[in-house]
Amino acid sequence: MGRACPPCSFGKQPMSLAHVILGLLQQQERTGYDLKTECFDDCISHLWKADQAQIYRTLDKLESHGWITCTVEIQHDRPNRKVYRITEAGEAELTHWLQTHYPLPVLREPLLVQLYFSAQLPNEVIVYLLEQELEARQEKLAQCEAIEALSLSNPTASREQKLHRLVLDLVKQREQTYLDWLEKAIATIRSQSI
Amino acid sequence: MGRACPPCSFGKQPMSLAHVILGLLQQQERTGYDLKTECFDDCISHLWKADQAQIYRTLDKLESHGWITCTVEIQHDRPNRKVYRITEAGEAELTHWLQTHYPLPVLREPLLVQLYFSAQLPNEVIVYLLEQELEARQEKLAQCEAIEALSLSNPTASREQKLHRLVLDLVKQREQTYLDWLEKAIATIRSQSI
DNA sequence: ATCTCATATATGATTAGTCATATATTAACA
DNA sequence: TGTTAATATATGACTAATCATATATGAGAT
CB contact under 8 A, B129 and A101: yes
* A26 is near strand C: CB distance < 7 Å: no
User: What is the arithmetic mean of pLDDT over A121-141?
Assistant: 97
Which of chain B's residues have a Cβ under 8 Å away from the Cβ of A110? Answer: 14, 16, 102, 105
- Mark the ranges of chain B whose per-residue pLDDT is less than 50: 1-9
Gap between the Cα atoms of B73 and B83, Å rounded: 7
Q: Choose among B27, B48, B109: nearest Cβ to A108.
A: B48
Residues 6+ apart with CB under 8 A from A10: A18, A61, A65
Residue pair B83/B34 in contact (Cβ under 8 Å)? The answer is no
Determine the distance in angstroms separating the CA of B85 from the nearest CA of chain A, rounded to an integer.
Answer: 16
Q: What is the pLDDT of residues A81-121, one digit of tens each?
A: 999 999 999 999 999 999 999 999 999 999 999 999 999 99
User: Residue B133: which H helix or E strand, with range?
Assistant: helix B123-151
Q: Choose among A46, A99, A132: nearest Cβ to B106.
A: A46
The pLDDT, as a whole number, for residue A55 is 97
Q: What is the pLDDT of residues A182-191, one digit of tens each?
A: 999 999 999 9
B57 or A152, higher pLDDT: B57
Strand C contact residues in chain B (60-89), C-beta within 7 Å: 60, 75, 78-83
The pLDDT, as a whole number, for residue B10 is 53
Q: For a pLDDT cut of 90, what percent of chain A falls above it?
A: 78
Relative to beta strand A68-73, strand B68-73 is unpaired
**Using CA of residue B158, residue B161, residue B167, residue B169, what is the dihedral sign?**
negative
- Name residue A71's beta-bridge partners: A83
**Nearest nucleotide, C1' to the C-alpha of B75?**
D25
Residue pair A137/A175 in contact (Cβ under 8 Å)? The answer is yes
The protein footprint on chain C, as nucleotides within 7 A of a CB, is: 6-21, 24-27
Q: Is the ipTM of this complex over 0.90?
A: yes
Written as one letter, the residue type at A18 is: A
Among residues A14, A54, A151, A117, the alpha carbon closest in space to that of B44 is found at A117
**Nearest nucleotide, C1' to the C-alpha of B59?**
C9
Determine the distance in angstroms separating the CA of A73 from the nearest CA of chain B, rounded to an integer.
Answer: 27
Q: Choose among A16, A109, A111: nearest Cβ to B108.
A: A16
Q: What is the pLDDT of residues B136-184, one digit of tens each?
A: 999 999 999 998 887 756 777 889 999 999 999 999 999 999 999 999 9
Q: What CATH number belongs to B16-98?
A: 1.10.10.10
Gap between the Cα atoms of A43 and B128, Å rounded: 26
Residue pair B68/B25 in contact (Cβ under 8 Å)? The answer is yes
B7 or A176, higher pLDDT: A176
Gap between the Cα atoms of B37 and B26, Å rounded: 17
The protein footprint on chain D, as nucleotides within 7 A of a CB, is: 6-21, 24-27
The pLDDT, as a whole number, for residue B90 is 98
Confidence of residue A12 (pLDDT cuts 50, 70, 90): low
The pLDDT, as a whole number, for residue A6 is 40
Footprint of strand D on the protein (CB under 7 A): A 11-13, 31-34, 36-37, 52-53, 56-57, 59-60, 75, 78-83, 108; B 10-11, 13, 15-17, 49-54, 57, 76-79
The pLDDT, as a whole number, for residue B176 is 98
Q: Is the pLDDT of residue A35 over 60?
A: yes
Gap between the Cα atoms of A131 and A81, Å rounded: 44
Gap between the Cα atoms of A58 and A56, Å rounded: 5
Crossing angle (nearest 10°) for helices A52-64 and A16-27: 80
The pLDDT, as a whole number, for residue A148 is 87
Per-residue HEC secondary structure of chain A comes to CCCCCCCCCCCCCCCHHHHHHHHHHHHCCECHHHHHHHHHHHHCCCCCCCCHHHHHHHHHHHHHCCCEEEEEECCCCCCCEEEEEECHHHHHHHHHHHCCCCCCCCCCCHHHHHHHCHHHCCHHHHHHHHHHHHHHHHHHHHHHHHHHHHHCCCCCCCHHHHHHHHHHHHHHHHHHHHHHHHHHHHHHHHCCCC
Q: CB contacts < 8 Å between A and B, how many?
A: 175
Please measure the distance between the N-terminal and C-terminal CA atoms of chain B and give it in whole angstroms. 68
Q: Choose among A16, A108, A129: nearest Cβ to B16.
A: A108
The pLDDT, as a whole number, for residue B13 is 63
Domain ranges in chain A are 16-98, 110-190
If you measure CA to CA, which chain A residue comes closest to B194? A159
- Average pLDDT of chain A, as a whole number: 90
Gap between the Cα atoms of A123 and A118, Å rounded: 9
Crossing angle (nearest 10°) for helices B52-64 and B16-27: 80
